[in-house]
Amino acid sequence: MRYLLIEILLGAVATIVITVLGFYVAKLRGLLKKQATEQSAICKGVKALLRDRILQSYNYYLGKGYIPIYARDNVQSLLDEYKALGGNGVVDGLVKKLALLPTETPSNSEDKGVNI
C-alpha cells in the first residue's frame, strides 16, 4: 500500500511538471514566432528606408550635376547595407550613374550649399 501511494504521488508530480513545461514551451514558441515576425518587419522597414534614401540622393545630385566624394561614398554604403538586407539590384544602376557624375561643382553653375 505504501508503494502504491508513492507511485501515485510521483505520477501526479510528473504530470504537473510535464504540464507546466508544456505550457512554457508553447509560450516560448509563441514569443519566438512573434519575435521573428517583428524582426522581418524591421528588416523590411530599414530596407525601404535605405532604398528611399538612395533614390533621394540620386534625384538630388543628378539635379545638381555633380556629387561630392563624401556623398558618393555614403550612397555606396547605403547600397551595400541595402543589399546585405536582401535588397534587389534595381538601385544599382542609379548608384552607377551617380558614380559617373563629377565630384566637384561644375564651373558654370553656382552651388547653393543646400544639403539633404
Q: What is the pLDDT of residues 6-28, one digit of tens each?
A: 888 999 999 999 999 999 999 99
pLDDT, residue 85, reads 93
Q: How confident is the model at residue 43 (pLDDT cuts 50, 70, 90)?
A: very high
pTM over 0.85: no
DSSP output for 67-82: --HHHHHHHHHHHHHH
- Yes or no: say if 97 and 57 are a contact pair by the CB < 8 Å rule: no
Q: What is the CB-side half-sphere exposure of residue 47 using CA atoms within 13 A?
A: 16
> What confidence score (pLDDT) does residue 110 get?
53
Q: What is the pLDDT of residues 60-106, one digit of tens each?
A: 999 999 999 999 999 999 999 999 999 888 899 999 999 999 999 87
| CA quadruple 25, 31, 34, 40: dihedral sign | negative
Q: Please state which of the ranges 3-7, 37-41, 43-47, 76-80 shows the lowest mean pLDDT.
A: 3-7
Residue 72's nearest CA partner among 95, 48, 49, 105 is: 95
pLDDT at 111 (0 to 100):
52
More confident position, 66 or 112: 66
